[in-house]
Amino acid sequence: MKAVCIREFGNVDVVKIEDKEIPIIQDQHDVLVEVHAASVNPIDWKVREGYFSDNSNDCFPFPMGWDFSGKIISIGNNVSKFKLGDEVYGLIRFFEPAGTFAEYVTAPSAQICLKPIHYDHVHAAASPLVSLTAWQALFEVANLQKNQTVLIHAAGGGVGQFAVQLAKWKGAKVIAIASSVSSELLISFGADIFIDYKKEKFEDKVQNVDIVLNLVGDKDTALRSLNVMKNGGKIISFLGPHDPEVIAKAKAKNIEAVSMIVKPNGEQLGSITQLINDKLIKTTIEKTFPLDEVKAALNLVQNGHCHGKVVLKVK
């Protein structure tokens, strides 16, 4: 089978498409999936470049990719909730090696679920990492409640789009911050206030915010966000721990500064799937590439301002 991997850290030139043996189920709680599509996320190029390198744990060749959609072709002896031929999707083994940029992959049955009924594999593959990140940030970390106000930086990105939709589904007031190209989409998703960060300062437009999702990740955005937040609020970082200055200022204002990383969760993905099936939330696609053009897909995610997901069509 074809599979994408890296044998060293570096730019896109270190990415290789290699011929591998089709994997065999080792853990009897796993299934073997024929991959039809896999999505490319910012984490993919960051791992490729060694952003999270730990000399004690780095392993090469490193198989790329974490979320996918496909069809089950073999089932472990301890799997009861799926059958041969089921079309499934999921985020698997994150942050460990998973290898979904391949024609076949083994997947833990607890980390996948049946793909949305009316989604093709491209839209399904595009959804797990970003939707689970938004779900866990809003409902696990922030404990978002109806009528609270949530401010979402970089709302036009993959996680941001799901965060807007999930927060509105919960009954929150949503402030979406992005570039103007995303305004119509985010308003259609239910954003109560849209702010073009290139033209306006959000701190001049809003106050009394309960929760901030800092999907931009920079220190300046976090510090400015603290000025519009309520006492007792939460600001969430996704790209590593908050800067010490942010933590200190947040503590002085009785605001909790939290960082998180998404975890695979088939049960939560099932809840998201139901919302997709009910057409209460949806996924947007920027562009698709064949597996052979994985380098171009990675470059687009790294260098472009994508307003939807980038997906590899494997089959």
Write the secondary structure of 58-113 as one string of H (helix), E (strand) and C (coil). CCCCEECCCEEEEEEEEECCCCCCCCCCCEEEEECCCCCCCCCCECEEEEEHHHEE
Query: pLDDT tens across 219-249, in order?
Result: 999 999 999 999 999 999 997 889 999 999 9
Residues 171 and 207 occupy one common structural domain: yes
Strands 87-91, 67-75: parallel, antiparallel or unpaired by DSSP? antiparallel
Q: How far apart are CA 131 and CA 153, in angstroms?
A: 16
Q: Are residues 65 and 157 in the same domain?
A: no
Is residue 57 situated within a structural domain?
yes
Same domain, 44 and 162: no
Report the half-sphere exposure of 260 (CA within 13 A, side-chain side). 23
In tens, the pLDDT along 137-194 reads: 999 999 999 999 999 999 999 999 999 999 999 999 999 999 999 999 999 999 999 9
166 and 197 inside one domain? yes
CATH number for the domain spanning 229: value is 3.40.50.720
pLDDT of residue 282: 97
How many structural domains comprise the chain? Answer: 2
173 in the same domain as 86:
no
Residue 71 within any structural domain of the chain: yes
b/e code 71-99 from CB counts within 10 Å (16+ = b): bbebbbeebeebeeebbbbbbbbbeebbb
**CATH code, 43:** 3.90.180.10
pTM of this prediction? 0.97
Q: Is residue 213 part of a domain?
A: yes
Domain shared by 95 and 144, yes or no: no
274 falls within a domain:
no
Whether residue 65 sits in one domain with residue 84: yes
Q: Is 53 within a domain?
A: yes
Of 259, 274, 298, the one marking the end of a domain is 259
- pLDDT reported for residue 307: 87
- Whether 89 and 177 share a structural domain: no
Phi and psi at residue 234, to the nearest 5°: -130, 135
Span 4-34, pLDDT tens digits: 999 999 999 999 999 999 999 999 999 999 9
Report residue 58's pLDDT band, with 50, 70 and 90 as the boundaries. Answer: confident
Position 275 in a domain: no
Q: How far apart are CA 207 and CA 172, in angstroms?
A: 15
Of 226, 243, 259, the one marking the end of a domain is: 259
Measured CA to CA, the distance from residue 23 to residue 32 in angstroms comes to: 8
Domain that holds residue 60: 2-127+283-313
The answer to whether residue 304 scores a pLDDT higher than 80 is: no
187/108 same-domain check: no
62 and 9, same structural domain? Answer: yes
Nearest to 163 by CA among 199, 194, 188, 137: 137
Residues 134 and 237 in one domain: yes
pLDDT band at 119 (very low <50, low <70, confident <90, very high): very high
- How is the chain split among helix, strand and coil, in percent rounded to 5? 30, 30, 40
